[in-house]
Amino acid sequence: MKRALISVSDKTGVVEFAKGLIANGYEIISTGGTYKKLQENDVDVIEIDEVTKFPEILDGRVKTLHPVVHAGLLAKRDNPEHMKTLEKLNIETIDLVCVNLYPFKETISKADVTPEQAIEQIDIGGPSMIRSASKNFKSVYVVIDANDYETVLESIKSNDDDLVLRRRLAAKAFRHTAEYDSIIGHYLTDLNGDEFPDVEVLGYDYHQELRYGENSHQKAAFYKSAMPFEYSIASAKQLHGKELSFNNIKDADAALRIVADFKEPCVAALKHMNPCGVGVDDESIYQAWRKAYTADTMSIFGGIVAVNREVTKEIAEEMHKIFLEIVIAPSFSDEALEILEAKKNIRLLTLDFSKAKDAQKHEYVSVMGGLLVQERDTTVDQLSEFKVVTEKAPTDEEMKALLFGQRIVKHVKSNAIVISTTDKTLGIGAGQMNRIGSVKIAIEQEEQATQHSPLVMASDAFFPMDDCVQYAAEHNITAIVQPGGSIKDQDSIDMANEHGIAMVFTGRRHFKH
């Protein structure tokens, strides 16, 4: 008779699985709570200490860490010496292990958990059994997911000895224990305050297959962090529309990063990872929407919009008139939802925007053969940090506009230039190979808009020469904010003084590659 060892934290479907194994000639061994659960449901089950002839000790910390268990799992069935050893020591083989692990991730997700409580949820025996069974997958089924119960029972029932299935289950099991260990490692690393440890192991769970990647000939999938962040596109709830695409997800992520910097009502519209319009208002989310929309009524077509307040009927009626790929907000009023759901392809998503402060601290960028890790640029520059370097100082109104532009420019691909007033973008120049190119694009876009005052310019990095300042002065820019730091800073300062422009330095660059 074959033997199965079952010890699960999540007991979903385990009774039916055990009964299915018994019906196919298996004897069931179990431990602790799983043993009790099976016994209560009339499953014929053997307690683990009857097999090991050794009691559970140390509050259950040691129960399956025993040679009888691991020899029964690891013995090669086609190796005569292994089998003779088992016979000599009166050890029986174990042919299936069904284990899922202590809920460490769920434990540390609780706000008030202590390190001592977390450590008690580090499973030792479970991963050990999984690894032993997985190493010997040619002879042992290893089952760590209730979704695989039916597939395994079908394989056993058909008696086809499916090696491909066994190997697939083993690979899945090793990925499971690797992710489990990575979560523990990150938790302890964070407790130690080690920002960049000697080894970086990341755990991500499969979320969904994507229709394609950046282009239709590229395959793609979406994975979410094993320790999910509530303020992320991966945690958003989709209310309506077709599945998100690869590019949708990247654009939506970029939009969420912008609105995270604003507590006041804010709307950000994006195309191709760059904002095309951002608007804020002290009170009205509708007015913030109007400012974001009118900032660039052309580029918003087919764009992604993030709204950090509930989408109202008034906003939805205007959104309905244009083509938008995604609208993501904390909520939609019933009237707004009804209006927008009339558009078949628009994706409507909700997310808890109050969790923005708890967003992921680091960001990861893959390169061929490596991974770049850095802190996210969450710094919001303050007026108190601005240093006036020109003869003319900005007015209070210009200072407010400079601060707004500076909050947006760090979210624009370098070389980045933002032309703005106090509460809306008017022109954005992004991703050019030279800074004057971005200045010209931003100003050209601004000149197509209704005239505003004040009219200021923000730059994500210093001006390498004075041509950017000169061009801005010739096109009615009245104040400029930039980090400074060029060997030719004085040329730019002199040019600003010549044209009566106010300029401030922040001392902080905001490149976004």
The residue that leads in pLDDT, 62 or 215, is: 215
Distance (Å) of CA 157 to CA 18, 108, 367: 13, 40, 46
pLDDT, average across residues 432-437: 94
Q: Which is the catalytic residue, given 250, 272, 313, 343?
A: 272
- pLDDT of 396 > 70? The answer is yes
For residue 315, what pLDDT band results from cuts at 50, 70 and 90? very high
Q: Which is the catalytic residue, given 11, 19, 66, 135?
A: 135
Residue 201 has a pLDDT of 87
Beta strands at 417-420 and 456-459: parallel, antiparallel or unpaired: antiparallel
181-212 tens-digit pLDDT:
999 999 999 888 888 888 888 889 899 999 99
Percent of the chain past pLDDT 70, that is, above it, reads 100
pLDDT, average across residues 175-183: 93
457-500 tens-digit pLDDT:
999 999 999 999 999 999 999 999 999 999 999 999 999 999 99
Answer yes or no: 135 catalytic: yes
Q: 48-57, 309-318, 430-439: lowest mean pLDDT where?
A: 48-57
Q: Which domains are assigned to the chain? A: 2-192 (3.40.50.1380), 230-358 (3.40.140.20), 383-505 (3.40.140.20)
Paired residues of 420 in beta bridges: 425, 456
Question: Hey, CA dihedral for 358, 362, 367, 368, is it positive or negative?
Answer: negative
- pLDDT of 318 > 90? The answer is yes
Paired residues of 102 in beta bridges: none
Answer yes or no: 513 catalytic: no
Which residue stretches of 89-237 are H helix? Answer: 104-108, 115-120, 125-135, 149-158, 163-192
- pLDDT of 30 > 80? The answer is yes
Q: Report the greatest alpha carbon distance in the chain.
A: 97
CA 111 to chain centre: 20
Q: 78-82, 171-175, 327-331, 470-474: lowest mean pLDDT where?
A: 78-82
Mean pLDDT of the chain: 92
- pLDDT of 449 > 80? The answer is no
* Whole-number Å distance between alpha carbons of 127 and 120: 15
1-28 tens-digit pLDDT:
899 999 998 899 999 999 999 999 999 9
Percent of the chain past pLDDT 90, that is, above it, reads 76
pLDDT, average across residues 367-385: 91
Residue 450 has a pLDDT of 66
For residue 399, what pLDDT band results from cuts at 50, 70 and 90? very high
Q: 240-244, 259-263, 449-453: lowest mean pLDDT where?
A: 449-453
53-103 tens-digit pLDDT:
887 778 777 878 888 899 999 999 889 999 999 989 988 999 999 998 888
Distance (Å) of CA 415 to CA 238, 467, 509: 34, 15, 11
pLDDT, average across residues 389-394: 97
